[in-house]
Amino acid sequence: MADLVFFSGTMDCGKSTLALQMNHNHAARGRQGIIFARHDRAGASTISSRLGLRAEAIEVTDGFDFQLYVVQLLSAGGKVDYLICDEANFYTAEQVDQLARVVDELGIDVFTFGITTDFRTRLFPGSQRLLELADRVEVLQVEALCWCGARATHNARTVGGVMVVEGPQVVVGDVAVNEDEVGYEVLCRRHHRRRLTAATARAAALSPDVLPFEQT
Ligand SMILES: Nc1ncnc2c1ncn2[C@@H]1O[C@H](COP(=O)(O)OP(=O)(O)O)[C@@H](O)[C@H]1O
Ligand SMILES: Cc1cn([C@H]2C[C@H](O)[C@@H](COP(=O)(O)O)O2)c(=O)[nH]c1=O
């Protein structure tokens, strides 16, 4: 029986790498797959991993219909065994419903990959629908780490290393960016709540306010 699976985690925990590995393993056994992505950092119609792997993908736009696309392909005599869907957090809820129908009505495996929550800890629409519909939700085993060494569970958006909490939900970007650029940093919940990034923690540690002082 086909499955709808959601592989989730923070940014930078290896989701795109796993997506490309899964595609490789299935293709190596003669299975026919299609790769989809949306807003990949490397540009449109691409799936890229920080380990250097990259592949061509079909760019999912707002109006894109997964079910229609697959049905048309099958009607034209094509073979489809599985779909790899990266950056699924950016898909619409309706598109996730279409993916569920591809699984149930066409018997095609759908493997989706994405972050669950945004920089304000709110679910992305695509991720919310996947949590509601997936047969299985798998949290990636490779742990991204907060600067304190704890498992990172949240994504912070930063400007010049300082966490920001205002702005649009979608801003494509990366971890480890240059000063002044908008970027992201993964944090444990405790430090996300306190808005304490690596840079602000470092600055606080150097501040004279926190230097040891003698009690009177
Ligand atoms: N230079 C490196 N050496 C080893 N592993 C790396 C290196 N750079 C990145 N990685 C691994 O790649 C992971 C990020 O993979 P990626 O698929 O791009 O993540 P995601 O899609 O979840 O954002 C990191 O968590 C780390 O495990
Ligand atoms: C937290 C958060 C992230 N994004 C963007 C930033 C990246 O382009 C992607 C995540 O990609 P990854 O492969 O998982 O690293 O999402 C965003 O637009 N809004 C956010 O709140």
Q: What is the pLDDT of residues 142-177, one digit of tens each?
A: 999 999 999 999 999 999 999 999 999 999 999 987
Per-residue pLDDT at 180: 80
Residue 216 pLDDT: 47
Q: From the CB of 119, is ligand 2 less than 6 Å away? A: yes
Q: Tell me how far the alpha carbon of residue 16 lies from the centroid of ligand 1, in angstroms.
A: 9
CATH number, domain of 120, equals 3.40.50.300
Q: How many degrees, rounded to 5, is the angle at CA 119 between CA 116 and CA 122?
A: 50
Does residue 213 surpass a pLDDT of 80?
Answer: no
Asked if pLDDT for residue 215 goes beyond 60, the answer is: no
Number of Cβ atoms within 10 Å of the Cβ of 147: 18
> pLDDT at position 176, please?
84
Residue span of the structural domain in which 173 resides: 154-206
Q: Which of 158, 171, 187 to mutate to test the pocket of ligand 2 (most atoms within 8 A of CB)?
A: 171
Residue 21 scores a pLDDT above 90: yes
Q: What's the rounded Cα separation, in Å, for the pair 175 and 169? A: 16
Q: Is position 214 within any domain?
A: no
> How confident is the model over 198-216, as a mean pLDDT?
74
Share of the chain above pLDDT 90, in %: 91
Of 108, 139, 170, which residue is a domain's last? 139
Q: What is the mean pLDDT of residues 131-138?
A: 98
Determine the Cα–Cα distance for residues 26 and 82; give it in Å rounded to an integer. 8
pLDDT at site 119: 98
Q: pLDDT tens across 57-71, in order? A: 999 999 999 999 999
pTM of the model: 0.95
* Rounded average pLDDT over 14-41: 98
Q: Is residue 80 part of a domain?
A: yes
- Nearest ligand, CA of residue 163? 2
Examine residue 216 and state whether it is found in any structural domain, yes or no. no
Residue 179 clears pLDDT 90, i.e. is over it = no
In the prediction, which pLDDT does 178 show? 80
- Residue 109 Cβ inside 6 Å of ligand 1? The answer reads no
Alpha-carbon distance 32 to 1, whole Å? 17
Q: In the annotation, is 138 catalytic?
A: no
The Cα-based distances of 110 to 2, 65, 78, 84, 169 in angstroms read 8, 14, 17, 6, 25
| Tens digit of each residue's pLDDT (9 = 90 or more) over 70-120 | 999 999 999 999 999 999 999 999 999 999 999 999 999 999 999 999 999
- With helix as H, strand as E and coil as C, how does 111-179 read? EEEEECECCCCCECHHHHHHHHHCCEEEECCCCCECCCCCECCEEEEEECCEEECCCCCCCCCCECCCC
What percent of the chain stands above pLDDT 70? 96
- Helix, strand, or coil here: 68? helix
Residue 212 predicted with pLDDT over 90: no
Our answer on whether the CB atom of 184 is closer than 6 Å to any ligand 2 atom is yes
Task: Decide if 147 is inside a domain.
Answer: no
CB 39 within 8 A of CB 163: no
Q: Minimum mean pLDDT among 22-31, 133-142, 187-196, 200-209: which range?
A: 200-209
Cα separation, 128 vs 31, whole angstroms: 29
| Claim to verify: residue 134 and residue 159 sit in the same structural domain | no
Task: Please check whether residue 4 is in contact with residue 103, taking contact to mean a CB–CB distance below 8 angstroms.
Answer: yes
Q: Are strands 154-159 and 182-187 parallel, antiparallel or unpaired?
A: antiparallel
Q: Are residues 175 and 92 in the same domain?
A: no
Higher-confidence position of 209 and 19: 19
Structure confidence at residue 210 (pLDDT):
58
Report the alpha-carbon distance of residue 69 to residue 91 in Å, rounded.
Answer: 15
Q: Of 139, 169, 187, at which residue does a domain stop?
A: 139
Burial of 142 (0-12, 13-18, 19+ CB in 10 A): exposed
CB atoms within 10 A of CB 152: 25
